[in-house]
Structure 1
Amino acid sequence: MIVQVNDLPGFRKKALRWATTFDTLCYLDSNGFNDPYSKFDTLIAVGARAELTADAGNAFDQLDEFRKNNPGWMTGFLGYDLKNEIEALTSTNHDGLKFPDLYFFVPQHLILIKGNEAEIISDTPEFVLTAINEQDLRPSARQTAINLKSRFSRQEYIDTVNKIKEHISRGDIYVTNFCQEFFAEDVSLDPLGVFTKLNEVSPNPFSTFFKWNGNYILGASPERFLAKRGSKLISQPIKGTAKRLDDIEADKQAKQTLRSHPKELQENVMVVDLVRNDLTRSAKPGTVKTKELFGIYSFTQVHQMISTVVCEMQDGLSNVQAIKNTFPMGSMTGAPKLSSMQLMEQYERSKRGVYSGAIGYFSPDDDFDFNVVIRSLLYNSSNKYLSFHAGGAITYHAIAENEYEECLLKAAAVMEVLGRELT
């Protein structure tokens, strides 16, 4: 069923409010960004006709089988700690969220919005449309104050970055992504109200509201992990960040400085090399290409340096195997990949979980698209634990104090939405 929509912002808000009445939903919003690889502006998957929950061990095999049995639309997430299935790694750091490593579901109802049209895929499309139109868009209640804490003090973070730089000087690694967790306990959160505000403060092309069994992922990600379009695989790693400035000329200068900054360029090219290497496992020989190097893209909070790497996918390779071959994404690990992941388990103080994993979908035409879970708030309503991470690339030229400030910059939108500074 296809319907014309006159008030797109209102329809999206009503559809999301209706979707939150279900136990399971995945809302993906491009926020109007022009993306040549996107199939839609907004996707809303609601209710679980079938679902898969798995932890590292044989999770990818389970997902492969689940996909074969459910070849239509499917949405879900891959947690970072699936790395323990791919490599000989373990994760023993603190985990307050208790999320599974993998969760996917086949929706009962699916809404695809593109332009001024909304396609409703459901056994009862008229019921869905009526239910959406009946939603009341009254404002959400004001979020109560949240006492945020960090696993690292500023000085502890700086000291740890300098220890990591010693590993780089010794040649153990070239670059890594070091992350820290900000968290709060005994929190009563209004997920819809918080996400709505986050999407207003920081609209990004891979924004996400994901809910299952009382757990929530509220995301404002700017980064694509991996997509498949026909026979082509596309990865768009982000490395390189600069703060947006109110003064137009100063903002232009910040953008230009990012474009020519040696450390940011070094970060980006190292990750591009890593992504190119990862893609060769899934590519037809000789087809891995860097389509764009050091592209500068502007978002509400930051400028980002984004590169695009593509290849032609091997015949006979399953989509799940192609994802596994590149997971976790190079922009969140480092190089060499295994050594970097081992070291970050040693120096980080929390399990990353879904953070620096991926959320996305498989479509009936055998394509898929997954983001990188960054700039995202995660919440377990059962134990009332709230968490978000921020991280940055550490290279030989990294200045520890600047890296700490970059973490706070990346966390700024989430902190603004929560209305709190760190204690």
Structure 2
Amino acid sequence: MNKTTISLFKQKAMQLASIYEVCCCLDSNNYTDPYSQYDCLIAFGVQEEIKINAGEAFSALKSFHESNKDWMFGLLSYELKNETEQLTTNHEDQLEFPDLYFFVPKYLIALQGDEIKVLKGDEGIIDAINKVSLANFSSSADVKIESRFDKKNYINTVEKLQAHIKRGDIYEVNFCQEFFANNAKINPLAIYQELNELSPTPFAGFFKIYNHYIISATPERFLCKRGNQLISQPIKGTAKRSTDLIEDEQIKINLKSSIKEQAENVMIVDLVRNDLTKSAVQGTVQVDELFGIYTFPQVHQMISTISCELNPEVHFVDAIKNTFPMGSMTGAPKIKAMQLIDTYERNKRGAFSGSFGCISPDGDFDFNVIIRSILYNSNRQYLSFQVGGAITYAAKAEDEYEECLLKASAILKVLGGV
């Protein structure tokens, strides 16, 4: 099969999958990656499922996997922080995503190169997908985007957080703001396909959990397990791209050599290293790549790779718990940063800055970071997307605000915003 045929098959498979009450697509968009098993996975139909809020969620997931040594796809909400640490959240929850949701699919299709494999379900599902007539979905969205912060309030809040840094409470915090729409009417699959076309990323995905949708163009991996190796790839450092090739190359060079961006990145690398030591064979935590520059349609990003050998006495679910929530979306020190996030942000994060991904029958897994993502509750017709960045002592509040708008640009374009 050529690329066009594979692309057409993927669209048809997604259309069929989205008819089911639960489906999940994880798409690498053909970015090469030494850790990914497949280019794209499409899972749909519920064979078994678990839905639970913070409290005993990780132990419940462990039991669920023991009972179902099978493929499973699921969501880890940011609110699981209330289980991993002594934390609470007082903000209103408009989206109402579960804190943890996993399902064993009835059908699982894998795409790898020019091959299509049925990993779960009857082979006849391939014929059913090929017979799908692609609907001419309209991706036009009836939404009125509002923001929790205007520019002045955002800048004032950043300055308050920097006062905490000056006092020594923290040295970095990931501060986010929500853009939202009430009475939002969208076609989630059509919006996903347009967003994925405009901003293809290596950890993109579409996750439908009954009336809840995650429409994601995330470039970031949270945590991956391959055999006895754990890999984390935090992103810290962003620069806007240029249409001028020479200028674009210079922007990459400037990002790579930026002392400010390197400082932000290395703080989180150190935090991830510390998190991984809780699950690692002693002495195996290492930084495989520091300050790698990777290019995406709207931005260049600084990404580092940290890995370790998983201690055989540590269950892989505990390895996830030991690193959750991811340092790139919290800050350092982690607990104090999360307390300040809850104090200064104006909404509950919920699924945002959590993770979704898959676990294979042998206990390998791959999970992304839910950023550059639209969250949608179709029952309440509430739509939300959040953007943020690392606030450090050296951060300029106005620049951070502009970076937020840059990160939101693809989503705003798809939703018909500015």
Instruction: Verify same fold: TM over 0.5.
Output: yes
1:376 lines up with 2:373 in the alignment? yes
**Cα pair distance change 1:28/1:142, threshold 3 Å:** closer
1:390 equivalent in structure 2: 387
Asked if the contact 1:296/1:305 (under 8 Å) is kept, the reply is yes
Find 1:47's aligned residue among 45, 48, 57: 45
Asked if the contact 2:142/2:186 (under 8 Å) is kept, the reply is no
Q: Secondary structure at the match of 2:269?
A: helix
Asked if the contact 2:142/2:185 (under 8 Å) is kept, the reply is no
Which whole-Å CA distance do the structure 2 matches of 1:274 and 1:142 have between them?
40
2:28 equivalent in structure 1: 30
Which whole-Å CA distance do the structure 1 matches of 2:161 and 2:324 have between them?
23
The one-letter amino acid paired with 2:45 is: G
Which whole-Å CA distance do the structure 2 matches of 1:392 and 1:77 have between them?
22
1:417 lines up with 2:414 in the alignment? yes
2:166 equivalent in structure 1: 169
Within 5 Å, give how 1:23-172 maps onto structure 2.
Answer: 23-126=21-124, 128-172=125-169
**Cα pair distance change 1:268/1:167, threshold 3 Å:** same
Which whole-Å CA distance do the structure 1 matches of 2:271 and 2:170 have between them?
13
2:230 equivalent in structure 1: 233
Q: Secondary structure at the match of 2:380?
A: coil
Which whole-Å CA distance do the structure 2 matches of 1:142 and 1:98 have between them?
24
Which whole-Å CA distance do the structure 1 matches of 2:139 and 2:24 have between them?
24
Q: Secondary structure at the match of 1:98?
A: coil
**Cα pair distance change 1:263/1:130, threshold 3 Å:** same
Offset at 1:134? 1.3
Which whole-Å CA distance do the structure 1 matches of 2:34 and 2:108 have between them?
22
Displaced runs of 4+ in structure 1, greater than 3 A? 3-6
1:262 lines up with 2:259 in the alignment? yes
Q: Secondary structure at the match of 1:221?
A: coil
Asked if the contact 1:79/1:353 (under 8 Å) is kept, the reply is yes
1:406 equivalent in structure 2: 403
Offset at 1:94? 2.3
Which whole-Å CA distance do the structure 2 matches of 1:309 and 1:393 have between them?
19
- What per-residue deviation string (whole Å, max 9, x for no partner) do you get for residues 37-95 of structure 1? 00000000111100000111111111111011111100001000100011110011121
1:17 equivalent in structure 2: 15
| Structure 1 unaligned spans of 5+ | none
Within 5 Å, give how 1:140-289 maps onto structure 2.
Answer: 140-289=137-286
- What per-residue deviation string (whole Å, max 9, x for no partner) do you get for residues 384-416 of structure 1? 000000010000000000000001111111001
Q: CA RMSD in A?
A: 1.2
Report how many aligned residue pairs link the two structures: 418
Asked if the contact 1:76/1:102 (under 8 Å) is kept, the reply is yes
Offset at 1:4? 9.6
Offset at 1:138? 3.5
Which whole-Å CA distance do the structure 1 matches of 2:388 and 2:417 have between them?
19
The one-letter amino acid paired with 1:284 is: V
Sequence identity percentage = 55
The one-letter amino acid paired with 1:89 is: L
Which deviates further from its counterpart, 244-253 or 284-293?
A: 244-253
Query: Structure 1-normalised TM-score?
Result: 0.97
Offset at 1:142? 4.4
The one-letter amino acid paired with 2:323 is: T
